[in-house]
Amino acid sequence: ILNVEQSPQSLHVQEGDSTNFTCSFPSSNFYALHWYRWETAKSPEALFVMTLNGDEKKKGRISATLNTKEGYSYLYIKGSQPEDSATYLCAYSAAAGNKLTFGGGTRVLVKP
């Protein structure tokens, strides 16, 4: 079983503050790195799919970077809002096969 780790497991952020958290994954046989946002009582929603080393993606106040050589990705939330409260999941896709291996998630709580 591949090892995909996310840290921290949870974090509390004051409204308006920026934050970031990490996903580490195997650097060999890399194909893609996915980020999903999972709000309570909803289904996980795709944020980004990143495939190239050095890739940076942005969606509103949320952005992500990718380093495939060292096997990590950062997700950044700028100016956090209460609606950003969710669990953020990363998932690694290897070159061979059609499955994703998910990390344990980072649970973000934005306090007003």
Q: Does 99 help bind other proteins (rule: CB under 8 A)?
A: yes
Q: Are 87 and 57 in contact (CB under 8 A)?
A: no
Binder among 43, 70, 96, 112 for other proteins (CB under 8 A) = 43
Binder among 13, 66, 93, 108 for other proteins (CB under 8 A) = 93
Distance CA 15, CA 45 (A): 22
Q: Does 49 help bind other proteins (rule: CB under 8 A)?
A: yes
Counting other chains too, the contacts that 42-46 makes at CB distance below 8 Å and 24 or more residues apart are: 44/89
Q: Does 105 help bind other proteins (rule: CB under 8 A)?
A: yes
